[in-house]
Amino acid sequence: MPSAAEIGAAEYIDSNIQTSAESKKLVIQGLQSIEIKATDTGKEFKDLDIDERTNILKYIEETHPSFFNYVLKQTCNAYYTNSSILNLIGAPNRPPQPAGFDLEKGDLSSLEAVRARGPIWRDIK
C-alpha cells in the first residue's frame, strides 16, 4: 500500500486550507510548533530519526490537539478518497449514492400532520 505522502496527502491538506483562514492558521501554527520542538534536538524535524519524530508528534498531539486531529482527519480524507487506494482495498470508486446502501422502508405515517399543513415557503417567481 502506498503511504499518505505517496498519494499526495500534504498537497490535499494544503489545497483544503486555502479555503479557510482559520484552518490555514491552525496548520501553520502547528507546523511551527513542530519545528520549534525539533530545535530542542539541534536539528530540523525532517532530519530527525523515527524515534525523535515520534516523540515530538506525541508531544504535539498532547499540546496541540486541535492541530493534530485536523491533520489526522485530513490525511485520512486524502487517503481514503484517493481512487488508487479505493481500488487497492476493493472499495467502489464512485459516490455512495444512488447505488449505495439499501435502506429499509420506514413508517412515515408520523409525518402526515406535517404534510397536511402544506408548503411553508413562499413561491418566488
pTM for the whole structure: 0.72
Which set of grid coordinates corresponds to residue 96?
Answer: 455512495
56-75 pLDDT, tens digit each: 999 999 999 999 999 999 99
Q: Where are the domains of the chain?
A: 9-88
The span from the CA of 81 to the CA of 76, in Å, is: 8
pLDDT band at 104 (very low <50, low <70, confident <90, very high): confident
The phi and psi torsions of 123 (rounded to 5 degrees) equal -75, 120
